[in-house]
Every structure is written in C-alpha cells, then in structure tokens.
Chain A
C-alpha cells in the first residue's frame, strides 16, 4: 500500500503539472492518438464493412483478415514501422490505425448483416434505391453494433498508446518508460493507474453512446 500512497503523491505533485512534460500534455497526446487512430481506422473500415455487410460478399475473407490482424503483436508492428519511418508520432499512429481496423470492420459488417432481411426486402418493395436502403435502413439499424466496434477499437488503442513512448512518440507511456529505466516504481504505478482510469472513462462514455445509438422503436433481442 506504501507504493500506492507514493503513486498518489506523484499524481498530486505540482511539478508533474508543469511544462512540456506535464500530465495534461501527455493525456492530451494519449487521447489524440486514440481518437486520431479510431477516426482514421473508421474511414477505412466502416465503408468496407458496409460494402461486405450489404453485398454479403467477401465475408470469409474479412473474417480471416480481421483474425489475422488481431494476431499481430502490437509492440512488434510499432517497432517495425518505427524502424522504417523513424521515431516520432507517425509510427505509433500508423500502428494504432492497424489495431483499430479489426474491431471496427467486424462491428460494421456484423451489424449490417444482422439487419433482418425482411426489413431490407420491405424497403426495396417500397421503392428505395440501394443507397437509400444502406443509409436509411441498414446503417441506422446497425448503428449500435458499429458503435460497439468503435468502443473496442478505442479500448484497444488506449491500451497500446502506452507503447508509443518506446519509439519517442509521447503520450502517457513516457512516464512508464522513463520510470522503468530508473526503477521508479511509484511513477510507473501512477502513470499506469491514470491509463487505467482513462480506459474506464472512455469505456463508460461509449457504453452510453451505444445506448443512444439504438434507433427509437427497435427492440433489443438478447
């Protein structure tokens, strides 16, 4: 418990809140990675997921692709990219986009495919064009699962963003890696607790968004 006290003392130490290495700056970097990677990943994965879900073609390829991407060790990918593009924020961002794609893709195509085919048929019979069917029927009904995909992508990136500091990419991992070198356990623990708190907070926000994403009038089948 002694370490826990020291960790808390570290968090509330005024020195931690000053300058270019301040806690607020590092949290900002951490969140920028998270949202940047999830937004970039969504730009790639959501249209692809809609296409796969709507046409029902390429499902097998998508499943094995997302499975294969999940098997990639994040630290290895990060370092591999850093060795080719150099240290800084580019390599972590690229890595996190790769990490964000599988859950986003899986959530989107699963959500679209789960839409009742009778509903789609009814929309078509009413004279809706394919684009109208996608954007007025399928996407709204799939939204809760798409948001669920975002939620796991956000959690994935918030966790791996800690590693960015290993290739001089900033974020909250800075405190962890500098403390590892000095064997400064309280600082390591403090930074870890902050990352965990951040993950919980983001998870809570997305749990709420997931609830809000449910179209009115639909029933949750569990």
Chain B
C-alpha cells in the first residue's frame, strides 16, 4: 500500500481524466447510432447493408485503429481526438445492431395501436418505440460502456493520458502495485458506469423492472 499512500492524488486525478475520456464516446456513440439504427430498422434494404457494415467496423483492432485514424481525420498521431473518435466508432458499431434488435423487440400490435390513435411517426418513435425498446437498448449500452472504459487505457500507448499511464509507468519503474492500482481503478470506474446506467434505466423505465419480477 506504500505506493498508493504516496500517490493517491495522482490516481484520483487520472481517474477523473479517464472518466472524462470514457463519457464522450458513449454519449456521442448513442446519439449517432440512434438515427442510424432507426433507418436500418425502418428501411430493411439499407439495414441489410448498414448492420453488417457496422459489424465490420467493430472487428478493427483498437490500437491499429487509433494509429490509422490520423490519415482520415488529418490529426496528429498524439491527438486525443484519435482515441475519442475511435472509441465512438466502436460504440456506434455495437449500438446500431443493438438498436435494430431493440426496435424489433417492440410488440407490433402496440405500434399499430399507436398509429391508430393518431401518433405521428415522430411521436411514435419517442413515445412508443424508444421507451419500449429501452431495456434491450440499455443492455447494449452497458456492454459499450464497460468496453469503452477498459479500452481508454490503450490510448496511453499513443500518448493520451489516462489510468493507462499507471500501467506504462509501473512497468518502466517495476512497481507492480502501481499497475494493480490502475487495473482496480479501471474496473471500479467500469462498475460505476454500469451502476449509473442500471439506475438510469430504473428511473426512466420503471415498468421494465415490474415486468421482470
């Protein structure tokens, strides 16, 4: 515990940076994937192309993606934008398929009832489709948040500081405790993110829990 006692301020600071780097890809990823997923669900012909294409994006390994992005984005190799855009791509890739599945899980009779009651397509999406697709969407969002939090540390290899700094620094200086603290802090952040998502799900979709029990 020696190392942690002397360096806890560093760990707290890096955890804050790590959280900051993780939030953006998840939020932006959801915002981008939502319309794409809707289009893929609504227009099956586009979906047949869009869903496999997003799956293919997900197969790109992370470090090579962060390194290849500068030629597309025109950024420098050490720019944090590469990491954030890369992680956002993964979030979108995972969520598009999940949103298609989530919208598919909505009972068709309910959807037709809302049309019969005079809901416009816009109202129907926000007030019927999205809330009912919520639980399936949430499970996808939880996977995205866990993988984003753990992938952020890879960015330290290309100079984007996060808890990953503790891995590289601990390796250079031969301090296993420093690396272990980094691993544990990352896992704790992943669990906090997951807890917040579950809590948000309960607040926004109180019916989902009743249906389960």
Q: How far is the CA of A204 from the CA of B59 in the complex (A)?
A: 10
List the B side residues contacting A75 at CB < 8 Å: 153-154, 156-157, 164, 167
Q: How far is the CA of A68 from the CA of B154 in the complex (A)?
A: 18
Interface-forming stretch among A21-29, A48-56, A78-86? A78-86
List the B side residues contacting A162 at CB < 8 Å: 61, 63-64
Q: How far is the CA of A8 from the CA of B64 in the complex (A)?
A: 15
- A180-212: CB near B (< 8 Å → 1, else 0) gives 100101001101110110011001000000000
Q: A80-B179, A188-B77 are in contact. Are A73 and B63 (CB under 8 A)?
A: no
List the A side residues contacting B140 at CB < 8 Å: none
Number of interface residues of A (CB under 8 A): 42
- A1-40: CB near B (< 8 Å → 1, else 0) gives 1011000000000000000000000000000000000000
Q: How far is the CA of A195 from the CA of B64 in the complex (A)?
A: 7
Q: How far is the CA of A219 from the CA of B32 in the complex (A)?
A: 34
Q: How far is the CA of A79 from the CA of B70 in the complex (A)?
A: 27
Q: Closest residue of chain A to B147, judged by CB?
A: A70
Partner of B63, one of A155, A185, A192: A192
Contact A199 B61 (CB under 8 A): yes
In the complex, which residues 72-122 of chain A have their Cβ closer than 8 Å to any Cβ of chain B? 72-77, 79-80, 82-84
Q: What's the dominant secondary structure at chain A's contact region?
A: helix
A71 CB–B CB distance under 8 Å: yes
Contact A200 B150 (CB under 8 A): no
Number of interface residues of B (CB under 8 A): 42
Contact A70 B67 (CB under 8 A): no
In the complex, which residues 145-160 of chain B have their Cβ closer than 8 Å to any Cβ of chain A? 146-147, 149-151, 153-154, 156-158
B208 CB–A CB distance under 8 Å: no
Contact B60 A199 (CB under 8 A): yes
A67 CB–B CB distance under 8 Å: yes
B123 CB, nearest partner CB in chain A, Å: 29
B74 CB, nearest partner CB in chain A, Å: 11
Q: Closest residue of chain B to A162, judged by CB?
A: B63
Q: A67-B146, A75-B157 are in contact. Are A193 and B61 (CB under 8 A)?
A: no
List the A side residues contacting B201 at CB < 8 Å: none
Contact A73 B64 (CB under 8 A): no
List the B side residues contacting A71 at CB < 8 Å: 146, 149-150, 186-187, 190-191
A106 CB, nearest partner CB in chain B, Å: 11
List the B side residues contacting A159 at CB < 8 Å: 61-64
Q: How far is the CA of A209 from the CA of B170 in the complex (A)?
A: 41
Contact B157 A180 (CB under 8 A): yes
Contact B176 A72 (CB under 8 A): no
A150 CB–B CB distance under 8 Å: no
Q: How far is the CA of A207 from the CA of B63 in the complex (A)?
A: 23
Most B CB within 10 A of own CB, among A4, A159, A177: A159
B113 CB–A CB distance under 8 Å: no
4 tightest Cβ-Cβ pairs between the two chains A and B:
A159-B61, A192-B64, A71-B190, A76-B183
Q: Can you name 15 extra interface pairs (CB under 8 A) apart from A74-B150, A74-B154?
A: A67-B146, A73-B182, A79-B167, A79-B168, A82-B171, A162-B64, A176-B63, A177-B157, A180-B157, A185-B70, A189-B71, A193-B64, A195-B61, A199-B60, A200-B59
A positions within 8 Å CB-CB of B: 1, 3-4, 67-68, 70-77, 79-80, 82-84, 155, 158-160, 162-163, 166-167, 173, 176-177, 180, 183, 185, 188-189, 191-193, 195-196, 199-200, 203
B positions within 8 Å CB-CB of A: 56, 59-65, 67-68, 70-71, 77, 143, 146-147, 149-151, 153-154, 156-158, 163-164, 166-168, 170-171, 174, 176, 179-180, 182-183, 186-187, 190-191, 194
